[in-house]
Amino acid sequence: MKIGIIGSGNIGGNLGKHWAKAGHEVLFSSRHPKELGSLVKEAGDNAKALSVKEAFEANADVYLLAIPFKAIDKISELYAGEYFKKVIIDATNPYPERDGEMAQEVRDANYNASEYTAMKFSTALTAKAFNTIKAHHLRDRAFRNTDRLAVPFAAQDQRSQDITKQLIEDVGFDAVYVGTLDATKIMDPEQEIYGKSTSAAEMRELLNEIGIV
């Protein structure tokens, strides 16, 4: 798959390297793409660096959103084309102390953070994943055969569900489906499964206790 990484920091940089290792074509993007040389080198032949706009114009199959939450509005306006059937995997989290008032508004709203992203990228298919994992676990615990970590995810429809599940499993985590985007409140900061490092069985048990699956 061709995967555009929007925001190549802790989350985007490490996940992009894992996907490149798994054989995917990875387009790292940044507001300063020239500064991504060492990341691209580490990721190998399957990766390159582009501006954020170029990444959206490169017609990737999937985009990972790994930027501060406050950047979503501006980033969603960068590309005027249709996202038809492209999947946006949203790994962002609203933190008022970092993202300001708009993050507090989303936390207080009667929709959750993934639904906010889906509203902003309305012609794409949105999924939520990798927002609940700790950055060092994402970096260090990929590609395990034993002692694998669960990555809970939600998706807007069957296509985004299948693709997101595949991309989680391609890098050696166990995908645990939570539901459609309206179920993702539990994945938001300070909520039930946020920051939980568990096996898939433990994650399912937790979801069961919450009454989700």
CB atoms within 10 A of CB 120: 18
Strand partners, 2: 25
Task: State CA 164 to chain mean position distance.
Answer: 9
Least distance in angstroms from the C-beta of 177 to ligand NAP:
18
- String marking each residue 100-139 x if it binds ligand NAP according to CB under 6 A: -------------------------------x-xxx----
Choose between 35 and 182: whose C-beta lies nearer to ligand NAP. Answer: 35
Regarding 9 and contact with ligand NAP (CB under 6 A), the answer is yes
* CB closer to ligand NAP, 10 vs 197: 10
Kindly state the smallest distance separating residue 130's Cβ from ligand NAP, in Å. 6
SS3 for the chain is CEEEEECCCHHHHHHHHHHHHCCCEEEEEECCHHHHHHHHHHHCCCEEEEEHHHHHHCCCCEEEECCCHHHHHHHHCCCCCCCCCCEEEECCCCCHHHHCHHHHHHHHCCCCHHHHHHHHCCCCEEEEECCCCCHHHHHHCCCCCCCCCEEEEEECCHHHHHHHHHHHHHCCCEEEEEECHHHHHHHCCCCCCCCCCCCHHHHHHHHHHHCCC
Q: Which stretch binds ligand NAP (CB under 6 A): 20-28, 41-49, 68-76, 155-163?
A: 68-76
Using CB under 6 A as the binding rule, whether residue 164 contacts ligand NAP is answered as: no
Site for ligand NAP in 11-40 (CB under 6 A): 11-12, 30-32
Is 10 a residue that touches ligand NAP (CB under 6 A)? yes
Residue nearest to ligand NAP (CB): 9
Closer to ligand NAP at the Cβ: 140 or 208? 140
- Segment contacting ligand NAP (CB under 6 A): 38-46, 66-74, 121-129, 151-159? 66-74
Binding site for ligand NAP (CB under 6 A): 7-12, 30-32, 66-69, 71, 75, 91-93, 131, 133-135
